[in-house]
Amino acid sequence: MEEPEINPDIQEKVESQAENASEQIINTNDIENIESNSKSDSIFKRVLENGFDGITTNPNYKLLALLIILLINLSLFFLVGNLGKTFLKNSGILS
């Protein structure tokens, strides 16, 4: 038996429709993957992966930044303490 010949125009249309359908399936899969990734990312996970400033991922630099922050806090503590002490001395409460 001979197979009937298909009109080339109809065959091109069918092939293009099949390609469009496969592209749409791929696009919807990409969108679903992006949405699921953005939902699964928590702030804690992003900080662990990217660091506090989004650049620092080296643990040594994280510790250095923490040390600098602690030294600044300590110096501010002593500064405020000395200001309070001088205020109390000047007011006569602390002799």
pLDDT at 73: 96
pLDDT in tens, the chain (95 residues): 555 566 767 667 667 776 666 666 766 766 666 665 555 677 777 777 776 665 566 778 778 888 999 999 999 999 999 999 999 999 888 76
pLDDT at 83: 93
Distance CA 65, CA 52 (A): 10
Half-sphere exposure of residue 57: CA atoms within 13 angstroms, side-chain side: 6
pTM for this prediction: 0.40
pLDDT at 82: 94
**What are the Cα distances from residue 72, in Å, to 34, 42, 65, 76, 87?**
41, 29, 11, 6, 23
In terms of phi and psi (left: phi > 0; alpha: psi -120 to 50; beta: otherwise), the region of 2 is: beta
Q: Which amino acid is at 35?
A: E
* Domain chopping of the chain, boundaries: 56-95
